[in-house]
Amino acid sequence: MPPFADRFAGHVAQFGTEVRDRLDRLSTLATSGGLDEAVGLLADCIAAGGVVQAFGTGHSEAFAMEVAGRAGGLIPTNKVALRDAALLGEHEIAELTGEPPLERDPNIAQDVFATVVRDPRDVFVIASNSGVNGSVVGLALLAKENGHKVIAVTSLEHTLAVEPKHPSGKRLSEIADVVIDNLAPYGDATLTGVSDVAVGSVSSLTAAFVAQLLTIGTVTALAERGEDAPLYVSANVPGGHDRNKAIEARYGDRLRRSA
């Protein structure tokens, strides 16, 4: 057997190939117009004074963090999370843990949705690799029922291979107005032969790339209309914090950053 350094280098190279291949495919999708519908919904939302409501559970919460409240990102954005039901709603903190995981509970969706300060112009962007858990599907259904457009970021390979966990029998991809495939494989991990269980998951990396592509596309679309996009600069550069706060104030209590 080759020494550790050689084996590890081989696995790193293989994983790099898996990631780069997917990022290249997403880039091609974007440049060929495959994200235009989603970008159009987001640009319309921002131009009309709406807020982008981003939601994900588990590791997909990283996608919502990539959309909302970060340097170079759109200011009118919110990160919606399961814990909002306790931090901003009526749930007890203790209810957020246990078995099965709360993300599978369709009943939590109503409580989370109730914490969102919504406007009819808002668009929901929901990420879920599996796209079948009760909370994610439930929140997407509530958004649609209340007249909001929904953009989904999910693994089509995975979601079509598993059964929905929501009583509706629906997957996130079957509810959303626009579906973006994050290109993760079934089970998310890409490398076999390293262990008896596959390693090298990619959905967080591809979803973060999609989030940035959507932001770049939205800013470009607004510029094409002659409109400025309300964007964050880093709060860690001189004047950045005060500038950002001044723009946030235009949206009143519709934006939240503390939770």
Write out pLDDT tens, residues 243-256. 999 999 999 999 98
* pLDDT confidence band for 2 (50 / 70 / 90): confident
Instruction: Please name the fold of domain 4-254.
Output: Rossmann fold (3.40.50)
* Residue-range domain boundaries for the chain: 4-254
User: Residue 186, class by beta-carbon neighbours within 10 Å (0-12 exposed, 13-18 middle, 19+ buried)?
Assistant: middle
Report yes or no: 85 and 108 within 8 Å, Cβ to Cβ: yes
pLDDT over threshold 80, residue 1 = no
Per-residue confidence (pLDDT) for residue 181, from 0 to 100:
98
What are the DSSP calls for 61-113, one per residue?
A: HHHHHHHSS-TTSBSSEEEE-TTHHHHTSS--GGGGSSSS-GGG-TTHHHHHH
CA angle 200, 73, 40 (to 5 degrees): 95
pLDDT over threshold 60, residue 94 = no
Average pLDDT over residues 69-84: 95
pLDDT over threshold 90, residue 68 = yes
* pLDDT confidence band for 90 (50 / 70 / 90): confident
